[in-house]
Amino acid sequence: MLISALERPVEFEPAVVEADRPDAARFRSEIEAIAEEHRPSRMPFFVRLANMPSEAVRSPTLLGRIHLVYQAAMHATRAAVYHLPHLDAPAMRKRKLLIFVDDDGLPGGDTHHYQLTRAFRRMGARILLDDEEFGDAAEVARHLDGEAANFVRLVPGLYSRSLGPWCVVETLSNDWMRSLADALAVHFPWVVDEPYFAECFAQGVEERHAEESLNVTEIVLRARPDLVTRTLCDAETMAQALDGVWQHLERLLRHRG
């Protein structure tokens, strides 16, 4: 099912990151600067969602659209992690595996993807795309439009080209998850106890992923300083695209009628 077009898709130009020294020493500080500039919690979507009348938020159609956009964006990044470059040495594969397990190897065959859908079903969402239909990014993007479709299409290429996009997404994820949980909890107080939120927050999953992404990328960049500029450019491009996801969701709220 297609979401009605609300705005023409935004095309992102590759970002340019200027620096005096193109070496690994500045990598972490620049990722932190990008993350600070693009903190999801500063975006109007979360405040608007919290401040809307609960009756409006509980619309099965609106919840279904929010679920589709958010789940598609999350799916795109989770799937793309399997194709990260420069991490093929045995020790790096071992570290990647721990991240895969956190997302896709939960006890009882559970995953963060399934947890999120269960939370939205409990809220009463009319789910627009079955869990197992979230596959190839290009196919998923056909169910979206605007910035959301752009993001889903962009992620595979950026993630497979450099480690910067992964680093910035992992660094920002705790901020947006807490902002989303807080906004939804205004209307569904129990949502903070849903495994999708509660388990991540209790176990510090997103903070661990953020630190690990920075640590392994620093190892790569110390060995390959020629990759620094591209890594940071791609990180900035990804942060801009992620802003677009929150803009798209905020527009869904404004046009809910």
CB within 8 Å of 210: residues ≥ 6 apart = 167, 170, 171, 173, 174
Q: Is residue 155 part of a domain?
A: yes
Spatial separation of the C-alpha atoms in residues 15 and 162, rounded to whole Å: 14
pTM as predicted: 0.89
Q: Is residue 116 part of a domain?
A: yes
**Using CA atoms in the order 237, 230, 37, 222, what is the torsion angle rounded to 10 degrees?**
150
pLDDT at 21 (0 to 100): 46
Q: Is residue 43 part of a domain?
A: no
Q: Is residue 11 part of a domain?
A: no
State whether the Cα torsion 246-143-173-107 is positive or negative: positive
Range of the domain at 176: 54-254
pLDDT at 205 (0 to 100): 81
pLDDT at 8 (0 to 100): 39
Residue-level pLDDT, tens digit, the chain, 257 residues = 444 433 434 444 444 444 444 466 789 999 999 999 999 999 999 999 999 999 999 999 999 999 999 999 999 999 999 999 999 999 999 988 888 887 778 788 889 999 999 999 999 999 999 999 999 999 999 999 999 999 999 999 999 999 999 999 999 999 999 999 999 999 999 999 999 999 888 888 889 889 999 999 999 999 999 999 999 999 999 999 999 999 999 999 998 74
pLDDT at 23 (0 to 100): 65
pLDDT at 220 (0 to 100): 95
Spatial separation of the C-alpha atoms in residues 137 and 71, rounded to whole Å: 12
Query: How many CB atoms are located within 10 Å of the residue 53 CB?
Result: 8
The CATH number that applies at residue 62 is 1.20.910.10
DSSP 164: H
Number of domains in the chain: 1
Q: Is residue 214 part of a domain?
A: yes
How open is the CA angle 184-186-188, to the nearest 5 degrees? 60
Spatial separation of the C-alpha atoms in residues 79 and 35, rounded to whole Å: 22
Q: Is residue 204 part of a domain?
A: yes
